[in-house]
Amino acid sequence: MPDLMTTFNFVLEIGGVEMASFRKCSGVESETETIEYKEATKDGKMIIRKVPGAMKWSDITLERRIDESKALWEWRKQVEDGDVDAARRDGSIVIKDSQKKEVARWNFERGWVSKWTGAELDAGSNEVATEKVTITHEGLHRA
């Protein structure tokens, strides 16, 4: 019987190196803009044609529990310091099965951390402290 895919076993790889595992991931999507134009047929009837326009990709947002690793913060710090070109990295969102074997991969190109959000601290709560990063990139494809 095949191993059913769960949505909780995935990691972020940067440059082929596993950077971290996360509890949430969104924005793994691509879209083609639609261009509409009006055209008259031979008999004078007005119709609307739709053709594909530019490709666009959503930002990828990842959330994980805070630990001692500063890798995501340091990646974001490169952008804050004005070194966006050095911060651009190719990476992957990788889904693994229950045996920790890779079953799906989406590669993104020239990604950089456009937003980092720290934990919402509340002494009256028992939530796990998390950090969230938004990765802006220039392309996404399934490997």
The answer, yes or no, to whether residue 2 has pLDDT greater than 60, is no
The answer, yes or no, to whether residue 8 has pLDDT greater than 70, is no
CATH for 10-142 is 2.30.110
- The CA distance from 119 to 65, in Å, is 9
* pLDDT tier at 10, thresholds 50, 70, 90: confident
Whether the Cβ atoms of residue 133 and residue 73 lie closer than 8 Å to each other: no
Q: How far apart are the first and last CA of the chain?
A: 24
Q: Model confidence over 31-63: pLDDT tens digits?
A: 999 999 999 999 999 999 999 999 999 999 999
Query: What is the pTM assigned to this prediction?
Result: 0.84
pLDDT at position 101: 87
Could you tell me the residue ranges of all domains in the chain? 10-142
